A and B are shown apart, each in its own frame.
Chain A
Amino acid sequence: MNKKQLPNLTDLSLGLNVAAGFFVFTLIGYFIDQKRGEGHLGILLGMAIGLAYGGYEIWKLIRRQ
């Protein structure tokens, strides 16, 4: 097998990394919410940071090309 033709697995796992990052940050926000006991700010902040992380990962991929 020609090594240059193998798919780059780090690029392929971008999707799962973005999704996992979003999920983890949202979870963190959820737990912060549970601790405070009231309001939904934690979850929303977590989602925002999760989206920012997703965008950062995609920016790194584009920058590499």
Chain B
Amino acid sequence: MTNETVHEVAGQAHEQIAFMSPENTLVLLTWAVFFGLLIILNKFAWKPILAGLDQREEAIRQSVEKAEQIQREYEQLNQKRQQILDESYAQAKEIVAEARKGAQNAARVIEEKTKEETQIMIENAQREIQATVQRAREDLRKESVDLAIQLAGKLIEKNLDEKDHQKLVDDLVRKI
């Protein structure tokens, strides 16, 4: 199969190359163009493009990682804040409870003390009343005895002197 020339019937002669015949110049030209493109484009196109793509992927990956890290830190801080809030709330509740208990205790103590004092005052008052009553009885007895003796003296028409008066009073009081 070599290069054949095909002549057209009506007019011009066109030099055609037969179908599927090997043309060495075309093969060599294709090789030359392909390797030329490979070398030139490698230097001017593929290397910069691929390097730029790698750089961009790296930058995106780093920024995504940083965003995730920030998210994680935020979560941690949030948790810590929540923890502190919970603790302080619990502490506040404790303080209030203690205060209430203390107040209750104080109230109870005051109540008891008041009760005791009242009790003491009552007892004192009772004792005073009793003493007063006793004294009043004594006075009453003495008066009645005096009256009785005076009456008796008047009856007897005797004037007792003071010592006999007194001895008689004491005897009568003893008897009564």
Say if the two chains contact directly (CB < 8 Å). no
Chain B residues in contact with chain A, CB under 8 A?
Answer: none
